[in-house]
Amino acid sequence: MPAKILLLALAALILLNTQPAAAQQPKKVPRIGYLSTSTNPARTEAFRQGLRELGYVEGKNISIEYRALAADLVRLKVDVIVTPGATSTRAAKAATSTIPIVMAQDPDPIGNGFVASLARPGGNITGLSGVLNSLRAQVVELAAKSRLPAIYWAREFVEAGGLMSYGVSVTDLDRRAATYVDKILKGAKPADIPVEQPTKFEFIINLKAAKQIGLTIPPNVLVRADRVIR
């Protein structure tokens, strides 16, 4: 009888030592890699806001690794890579064909060779399509010198001194990129997630630029603007 009691006690002790260890195994926190050579606070905050709206809290159930080199994110074995533009997407595409890549915005994802089609991307890349604005300073300067009342397609042109813009809200694209990350973390494949086009547009007017070229903006136009730079 004592031997049987001893065996039962040992079995109970082993059970107590193994069960809590299994129960206390920490749940894996997904890691997002954000690939960019420069940080735009407004865009990164919009992306983080999108994650928060979906229930993700940094340091609790999600982590974000910011890197300038795609190879670094591949080495870290992140679960998904987010790219803010075509240059970053191209670098990520060259670095991995297996880690899902989410484009926050791209002017021409098909023409750039990132996806086969918007409806069926077909590879490890999906996301949202935006517009090219890398030459905005030169364009704005030329329009001002020629006293041309130009309207642009992105707010960055107006912030750089342009007259007005009506176009895609890039920060909204960054916020919506979080929904792609969410779908991928829940098991969806980039190849099956359609590339979406913009849904939010904004109208911005720069009164300083209007004064510079001697143009008066009517009040009924001003009230329609989402933002007026004075």
**117 and 35 within one domain:** yes
Is the domain of 146 the same as that of 73? no
Q: Residue 22 above 60 pLDDT?
A: no
Segments forming the whole domain that contains residue 208 = 136-166+203-229
**pLDDT interval class at 125 (50, 70, 90):** very high
Q: Which residues contact 176 (CB under 8 A, 6 or more apart)?
A: 50, 128, 196, 199
Instruction: Examine the domain organization and report whether 216 and 124 are in the same domain.
Output: no
Residues 107, 49 share a domain: yes
Report CA dihedral (30, 36, 39, 44) to the nearest 10 degrees. Answer: -40
Q: pLDDT for 204-227, tens place per residue?
A: 999 999 999 999 999 999 999 999
How many domains, in total, are found in the chain? 2
User: Is residue 66, in this structure, part of any structural domain at all?
Assistant: yes
Residues 65 and 122 in one domain: yes
- What is the pTM for the complete model shown? 0.77
Q: Please report, as a single letter, which amino acid is at residue 25.
A: Q
Residue 6 lies in a domain: no
Same-domain status, 178 and 145: no
- Six token digits for residue 192: 């099956």
User: Do 91 and 176 fall within a single domain?
Assistant: yes
Q: pLDDT band at 55, cuts 50/70/90?
A: very high
**Same domain? 102 vs 47:** yes
Question: Does residue 63 register a pLDDT over 80?
Answer: yes
Could you tell me if residue 17 is inside a domain? no
- What CATH number is attached to the domain comprising 67? 3.40.50.2300
Top pLDDT among 200 and 14 is at 200
Q: How far apart are CA 52 and CA 104, in angstroms?
A: 16
| Structural domain contains residue 150 | yes
